[in-house]
A and B are shown apart, each in its own frame.
Chain A
Amino acid sequence: MSAPNENNVSQPQLSAHVFDELLDSIIMDVASECHRITKLGLDRNLEEEEEELRLSAQARARVADPSNSSETNGKYIVDIFGQTHPPVANEIFECMNCGRSIMAGRFAPHLEKCMGKGRKARLKATRSSTAQNRYTRRNSASTYSPYSNPTSTSRLPNGSSGVSGHEYSNGSLEEM
Chain B
Amino acid sequence: RHSVNRPPTPDTRDDQEKEPTLKEIINIKLIESGEKERLMELLRERLVESGWKDEMKSLCREYIKKKGRNNVTIDDLVHVITPKGRGSIPDPIKAELLQRIRTFLVSAAL
Chain A interfacial positions (CB closer than 8 Å to B):
5-7, 9, 11-12, 14-35, 38-39, 41, 43, 46, 49-50
Contact = CB atoms under 8 A, between A and B. Distances in A.
B22 A15 contact: no
A3 B66 CA distance: 50
B74 A31 contact: yes
A46 B43 contact: no
B22 A27 contact: no
Interface string B89-110: 1000010011001100100001
Mostly helix, strand, loop or mixed at chain A's interface? helix
B87 to A, nearest CB: 11
B100 to A, nearest CB: 9
Mostly helix, strand, loop or mixed at chain B's interface? helix
A30 B23 contact: no
Contacts of A7: 21-23
B77 A46 contact: no
A26 B81 contact: no
Contacts, number: 100
Interface in B36-70: 36, 39-40, 43-44, 47, 53, 56-57, 60-61, 64-65, 69
**A-B CB proximity, top 5 nearest:** A31-B77, A34-B60, A15-B101, A7-B22, A31-B78
B82 interface: yes
Contact of A5 (B22, B60, B61, B80): B22
A51 to B, nearest CB: 12
A117 to B, nearest CB: 60
Nearest to B40: A22
A58 B82 CA distance: 37
Nearest to B85: A27
B16 interface: no
B97 A34 contact: no
16 contacts: A6-B22, A7-B22, A7-B23, A9-B23, A14-B26, A15-B105, A22-B40, A22-B43, A27-B56, A27-B86, A31-B60, A31-B78, A32-B74, A34-B61, A38-B64, A46-B69
A141 B56 CA distance: 89
A50 B68 CA distance: 9
A26 B44 contact: yes
Contact of A23 (B22, B36, B73, B89): B89
B74 A35 contact: yes
A14 B22 contact: yes
A14 to B, nearest CB: 6
